[in-house]
C-alpha cells in the first residue's frame, strides 16, 4: 500500500448555476433547485405565487415533509429600516420561480486559476504580484 495514494482525493466538478432559471417546476425539481440555491454563493431571485419577487442570498433552509412546512431564509439585497439587514422566510409552497441571478462569488477562485493569472502577470513583467482579494460587486 502506497501512503501517497491514500492522500489523493478526486477533484470536485462544480455545476455552473449562474443565470439558470427555473419556472413552475414539480415538487421534486423545486426541492432539488432550492438545495442548489442554498449551496450557491450568489444571490437568487425567488418569484412567488402572487407575482412578488425576492432578490437575495439564501442562508438557511428547512426541508419539511411537504412544501407548506418547508421554507428558505433569505437576506434580501435591499436593506430594511435604518439600513439594517433583515432576514425573511419564504415557504416553498409560495415559490413558482427561481433564478440564479447574482454572480457566483466563488466562481473561478480556485488555486489553479490564481496560479495561471500569476504566471501570466509574471510573464508580462509585472512586479509585486501577490494574493490580492477581488472587489465584491
Model pLDDT for residues 15-62, shown as the tens digit of each residue:
566 666 777 668 888 888 888 888 888 899 999 999 999 999 999 999
Domain formed by 21-99, architecture: Roll (2.30)
Tell me the domain boundaries of the chain.
21-99
Number of CB atoms found within 10 A of residue 70's CB: 20
83 vs 11, which has greater pLDDT? Answer: 83
Q: What is the pLDDT of residue 131?
A: 63
* 3-class secondary-structure state, position 47: strand
**Cell 415533509, located at residue:** 65
> Considering the entire predicted model, what is its pTM?
0.63
Grid coordinates in use for 8? 489523493
- 57-113 pLDDT tens trace: 999 999 999 989 999 999 998 776 777 778 999 999 999 989 988 777 666 666 677
Looking up cell 444571490 gives 43
Query: What is the Cβ-side half-sphere exposure of residue 102, based on CA atoms within 13 angstroms?
Result: 20
Amino acid at each position: 500500500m502506497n501512503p501517497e495514494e491514500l492522500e489523493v482525493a478526486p477533484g470536485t466538478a462544480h455545476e455552473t448555476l449562474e443565470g439558470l432559471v427555473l419556472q413552475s417546476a414539480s415538487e421534486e425539481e423545486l426541492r432539488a433547485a432550492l438545495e442548489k440555491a442554498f449551496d450557491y454563493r450568489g444571490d437568487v431571485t425567488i418569484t412567488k405565487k402572487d407575482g412578488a419577487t425576492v432578490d437575495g442570498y439564501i442562508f438557511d433552509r428547512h426541508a419539511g415533509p411537504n412544501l407548506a412546512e418547508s421554507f428558505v431564509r433569505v437576506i434580501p439585497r435591499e436593506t430594511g429600516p435604518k439600513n439594517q439587514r433583515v432576514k425573511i422566510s419564504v415557504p416553498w409552497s409560495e415559490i413558482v420561480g427561481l433564478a440564479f441571478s447574482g454572480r457566483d462569488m466563488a466562481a473561478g477562485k480556485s488555486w489553479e486559476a490564481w496560479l495561471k493569472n500569476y504566471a501570466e502577470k509574471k510573464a508580462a513583467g509585472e512586479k509585486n504580484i501577490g494574493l490580492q482579494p477581488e472587489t465584491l460587486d
